Each structure stands twice: as structure tokens, then as C-alpha cells.
Amino acid sequence: MNRKLSIFSAFVTFTMMIVLLMGGTVTKTDSGNGCGTDWPLCHGELIPTNPSVETMIEYSHRAVTGVVGLLIIALCLWTLVAFKERLDTKIFAFLAFIFMLIQSIVGAGAVVWQQSDLVMALHFGISLISFASLLILTLLIMERPGREFRETVPAFLRKLLYGLLIYTLIVVYTGAYVRHVGATYACVGWPVCSQPTMTYESWVQMIHRIMAGLLFFYTLYVHFVAIRLKHRTTQKGMAFATFFISCQVATGAWIVLGGHATYVPLLHAFLITCYFGVLSYMTYHAFRTRQDR
């Protein structure tokens, strides 16, 4: 294990988490237009003078994203030098960089070209993939030679994990779409909408709730299968995933039933990020043990 590289990779992963939460703050506070339609400048200035609160939120998000982008580039180069013979570390370093780049382009496009809500809903999911890539890269770097997890994942459980990861991205997209169309509070009541008339926003919110509910039960089922097959590594990972998705559902209900404070949706975003990170690693573990057979 390369100790210095491990620490640096863990730090970069943590900073990517901050980027995700800052992006959530931008959306929650409607600060996306805090710098007008200028990018990378802010109201035509490199450093805005007499900025409003919205400008500060948007500008700080851009600044931190730029710094994290440079850190990811440095991590990629360091990884290429330190692990010349390992293809897996190179792949995840590349994925972290390329999805960070795509995320920045989508964010810039939203400012300059005022992209649609359908496109902007992709932003959070793209950031999640970059974060998950960094997390897996960090765990791979930290592995000690000869002590890697090599417990082969049964084919049925492996396929369940693949499906769960893909379905999670779909649910994340619907949740992001809820925020971007302003449908967060479009439904009165929880878990079902209790108002007599359903608007487009209400249906968007309700569909997300149904899909999130199915994700919760899907997660429980995969956890149950891992326990039944006595697959220790997946059992441990799915225990964390079950905890995070349970808290995620709880914070979703909290938001609808009165959690209007900014920190509540940020906690919601934090939990799904943790869940996706754990699930991504478990899925990759299933994939690479299959390749070793």
C-alpha cells in the first residue's frame, strides 16, 4: 500500500463529497443564476464585488469544483505513476476525471445556455459516478497485496447487484428531476399524495416516491439473499447499504412533512451518496471476483 497516495486519494474523495453537497445547496437555495449567464466569470468579473448571498453560494461552488478538478488530475497522474501495472486503478482514476469533467460541462451549460430540467437532472447522477469512482480507487489503493477481498460472488447475487446499481441511478435521476422542476412540496401528505387534484409536479413527486420505495425493498431483498447465501463480504456491504437507504427514506419523508431547513435536503443528498458509494464498491467486487474465476 502506498500510504501517501492512500491519504491523498481519501482526501480527494472527501472533497468530491463536499462538491456534491455544495451543488445541492445551490439547487436548494435557487442560486444557480447567482453569477448571471457568465461562465467561468461571475457577472463579468473574476472575483465578484459586493456579491449577494446567491452569488456567493454559486461562486464558491464553482471555485471549489475547480480546485477539486485539479486535485483529481493530480491523483490520476500520481496513480498512473505508482500503479503502472494495474489496469483497475487506471480505469477508476480515468472515470473519476472524465465524469468530473462532464459534470462541470453540464453545470456550465446550465448557466450559459439555460438547459432544460431534463438535462440538469443528470448533473447530480454524473457527480455521483465521479464520487463512486474516487471511492473505489481509494479502496483499491489501500488494499494490501495478497489481502484483497476475493470471495467469489454467486452469479444470482452478482446480477442482483448489477440491477440494483442501475436502478439506483434511475431513482437518483427522478429525485434530481423533482428538485429541478420545483416538485419537492407538490404532494400534500406522505407516503401518498392526499390532495384531490394532481398536477404535473404532483405526479413527478409521486412517481419518485414509488420508485424510491421499490429501491428500499430491492435493497432489503439483496441483503436477504446475501444473508441466505452466507456471503460475508456482501452481507457486510449490504448492511451499510440498508442503513443508508433506510435513513434516506426517513429524510425524504421529513422533507415532505416539514423539513424545510436547508440541512435536511443536504442530509438527503449525503445519505444517497454514501449508499451509492457502498453499492458501487460491492458491485465492482462482484464483477472482479467473477473475472478471477
Residue 208 known to bind ligand: yes
Q: What is the CA radius of gyration of the chain?
A: 20
Beta bridge partners of 45: 42
How many whole angstroms separate alpha carbon 123 and alpha carbon 172?
A: 10
Indicate the SS3 state at residue 45. strand
Phi, psi angle pair for 88, to nearest 5°:
-65, -45
Residue 268 known to bind ligand: yes
How many whole angstroms separate alpha carbon 182 and alpha carbon 176?
A: 10
Chain centre to alpha carbon of residue 102? 14
Contact in structure between 271 and 21 (CB atoms under 8 Å): no
Residue 151 among the catalytic residues: no
Please enumerate in sequence order all residues whose Cβ is within 8 A of that of 219, keeping only pairs 6 or more positions apart, or say none: 164, 238, 241, 242, 245
How many whole angstroms separate alpha carbon 116 and alpha carbon 181?
A: 10
Beta bridge partners of 42: 45
Indicate the SS3 state at residue 42. strand
Please enumerate in sequence order all residues whose Cβ is within 8 A of that of 162, keeping only pairs 6 or more positions apart, or say none: 283, 286
Name residue, grid cell 444557480. Answer: 32
Name the active-site residue from 45, 58, 148, 151: 58
Peptide bond before 145: cis, by omega within 30 degrees of 0? Answer: no
Going by the annotation, the residues of the binding site for heme are: 208, 268
Going by the annotation, the residues of the binding site are: 208, 268
So which residues are the catalytic ones? 58
